[in-house]
Amino acid sequence: MKNNPRVLNAWCLYDWANSVHSLVIVSSIFPVYFSATALNEAGGPVIDFLGFSVKNTVLFSYAVSVSFLIVALLSPFSTAIADYSGQKKAFMKFFCYLGSVSCGLLYFFTRETTTFAVFCFVLSLIGWSGSIVFYNSYLPEIATEDRFDRVSARGFSMGYVGSVLLLVFNLTMLLFPQWYGGLSGGQASRISFLTVSLWWIGFAQIPFRLLPDPVRPDRPQGDNRWLFNGFRELKKVFREVQHHKLLKRFLVAFFIYNMGVQTVMYIATIFGSDELKLPSQSLIVTILLIQLVAIAGASFFARLSERVGNIYALMVAVFIWIGICTGAYYLTTEYQFYALATVVGLVMGGVQSLSRSTYSKLIPETTHDTASYFSFYDVTEKMSIVLGTAVYGLIEQVTGSMRNSILALLVLFVAGLLLLWRIPSQKVYGVRLQSS
């Protein structure tokens, strides 16, 4: 039965569980610790990684790119196999445990173990993003269409609240080490990585227990060729996607504007540290500010979509992102950085939650292959991260300036806005967008 409050709350709680990875590992403490630790013997930022000399900030960007490239390759096959075998929750658990354990191993990150830490970081991203595709695919199974926007927004909001609570605790270790027996900054950071692992695994048990097991499709008795038939399932869903015109248009638009959104989210802290020379405490407090504003932002854009439709609400968010990139190019002071971060927080949650709920409305209402359908959304998202972060890192490496990379992001948002313009916006619930 859909719209069961207990199930919906459990689903949202996985956002609460896994979002600490996005905040602590990707956006705040780990990037700062990485910049301060991944140094050569002379204390410089150009380090040796697998025989290549590379600047640590560029290595961080490339690590993100490689992680999501791997996920983009794995996701279609794992989701198709999960749909065919009825093992969606098992796949979600596997990726969850892979990511959370990898976070725990970052406790051993020192200058001497930088290569090991990069691999752990990559695996944590694979586990995190790999579990998200199965998590997202539950939305159309547990909620009716009129609840998609608000439930999606509530999930992101709970994720922001949960991650903020853990970050505040971790900040007390960094800012008030005397409370914990005089921890050094490095020790406090490494313990933070361990807390992410425990938080993620612990709270994930609730959705794992309460989310319904997927309906097992009727298959020939004794047919256990999950891998082979999973590929056939993927081929079938791919053919179906080809016949949904608006679904294809949305995926193209999402791919373009999401390249900009995700790249900003993954490199904002590095930009503040390397380009503006902001202290680590200021950067982490800024990330905390972004999360708090994002809670209100997700709710605001969910309500806006009810008034003007999903696509128009997304266009408003993307237009604001264009202004963010323009402002970032001319950014010079710490207070300007704080002001821009506030605006980023406002649209960050909104564009993510609306993108997820919009896609849920565009997939066929009667399909049981939700994981396979969401794998196309996931691949689009991950490939946009791969290309966005790779282009950002490449432009910085070639030109020596992050500001030139920001101009590339500006172009992406403009193109994404124009592509969204080609899609009609749904204003009335209960009347699905015609996708073909």
pLDDT score at 99: 97
* Phi then psi dihedrals of residue 312, to 5 deg: -65, -40
| pLDDT (0 to 100) of residue 218 | 56
* 402 vs 352: CA distance, rounded Å: 24
Mean pLDDT of 352-362: 86
Residue 367 pLDDT level (bands cut at 50, 70, 90):
low
Alpha-helix runs per DSSP H in 106-244: 114-137, 139-142, 148-175, 185-210, 226-242
Q: What is the pLDDT of residue 428?
A: 39
Measured distance CA(339)–CA(318) in Å, rounded: 18
pLDDT bin (cut points 50, 70, 90) of residue 216 is low
Q: What is the pLDDT of residue 11?
A: 95
- For residue 345, the model assigns a pLDDT of 84
Q: Span 354-377, mean pLDDT?
A: 77
Cα of first residue to Cα of last residue in the chain, in angstroms, is 29
Band (232; pLDDT cuts 50, 70, 90): low
Distance CA 312, CA 427 (A): 9
381 pLDDT more than 60: yes
CA angle 244, 245, 249 (to 5 degrees): 120
Model confidence at 96, pLDDT cuts 50, 70, 90, reads very high
Residue 95: the pLDDT is 96
H/E segment holding residue 49: strand 46-49
**Two structure tokens written together for 349:** 């949650």
**Gyration radius of the chain over CA positions:** 21
Using CB atoms within 10 Å of the CB of residue 398, give its burial: 0 to 12 exposed, 13 to 18 middle, 19+ buried. exposed
Q: Check whether 383 has a pLDDT greater than 60.
A: yes
What was the pLDDT predicted at 266?
66
Instruction: State residue 114's pLDDT score.
Output: 94
Please tell me the least confidently modeled range out of 89-103, 172-186, 235-249, 311-325.
Answer: 235-249
Cβ neighbours around 387 below 10 Å, total: 19
Q: What is the pLDDT of residue 124?
A: 97
**366 pLDDT higher than 60:** no
**Residue 230 vs residue 94, higher pLDDT:** 94
Across 110-114, 159-163, 205-209, 339-343, least confident range: 339-343
The pLDDT, as a whole number, for residue 433 is 47
Mean pLDDT value across residues 122-138: 92
Out of 35-39, 346-350, 357-361, the most confident range is 35-39
pLDDT at 225: 54
Q: What does the pLDDT read at residue 330? A: 86
More confident residue, 95 or 174: 95
- For the whole model, what pTM was predicted? 0.78
Of residues 219 and 137, more confidently modeled: 137
How large is the average pLDDT for residues 366-387?
A: 75
Domains of the chain: 5-211+241-420 (1.20.1250.20)
> Residue 429's pLDDT band (boundaries 50, 70, 90)?
very low
Could you tell me if 88 and 371 are in contact, meaning their C-beta atoms sit under 8 angstroms apart?
Answer: yes
Residue 193: which pLDDT band, with cuts at 50, 70 and 90?
very high
**Model confidence at 302: pLDDT above 80:** yes
Of the listed ranges 84-88, 246-250, 349-353, 414-418, the least confidently predicted one is 84-88
Say which DSSP state 431 is in.
S
pLDDT above 70 covers a percentage of the chain that reads 88
Per-residue pLDDT band for 243 (boundaries 50, 70, 90) equals confident
Q: Greater confidence, 101 or 31?
A: 101
More confident position, 158 or 73: 158
With a cut of 70, say whether residue 220 has pLDDT above it.
no
Average pLDDT of span 128-147:
89
Whole-number average pLDDT of the chain = 84
pLDDT beyond 90 at 235: no
- pLDDT of 189 above 90: yes
- Quote the tokens at residue 359: 């896609």
- Name which residue leads in pLDDT, 233 or 309: 309
